Amino acid sequence: MVGFGRIGRQIGRSLRELGLEVRGFVRTPREDAEFPLLGAGDLPAWLPEARLLVLCAPLTPETRGLVDARLLAHGHPGLTLVNVGRGEQVVVPDLIAALDAGRMGRAVLDVFSPEPLEADSPLWSHPKVTVTPHHSGPSTPRAMVPDLLPNLRRFAEGLEIQGAVDRARGY
């Protein structure tokens, strides 16, 4: 897992429940009660063992173009990439080249650059790529209110908002 915020942690828990060993790769390695959280720079060393690489990190200078030919050269031929983070984290020509050369197995992509995915993109018809419609969060008021209420209460009580964007970090 690259990115281990609220979404990444929940995906990690779900994968662990399925019996997968989960490691998180984050900007700054840290102790965590649930998962090993390693520095993003450690990813190439662990990638040969991985069969699943999930991207759910924000787009930062460090994550832009993260999945490129250099990183994919460390991957396993059976590696599946799932990107629910940001489209610009994947260098699409490098991804297609790795898939075509058998250096990885599959890609499941929910985000693209640009979005929406252009009609003539080779990702639409590639036999090893699954394109999903980038609709992962609640979008109706009924579905969103339970997510918003805790922070509305915290705000009303003068407490710090949880999960607020840190503009200095860019996410």
Which residues have a catalytic role annotated?
Answer: 86, 134
User: What is the CA 9 to chain-centroid distance, rounded?
Assistant: 11
**CA 41 to CA 51: how far, in whole Å?**
18
Question: Cβ atoms within 10 A of the Cβ of 18, count?
Answer: 7
| DSSP single-letter state for residue 68 | S
Contact partners, residue 27, CB within 8 Å, separation at least 6: 39, 40, 60, 62
Burial class (CB in 10 A: 0-12, 13-18, 19+), 115: exposed
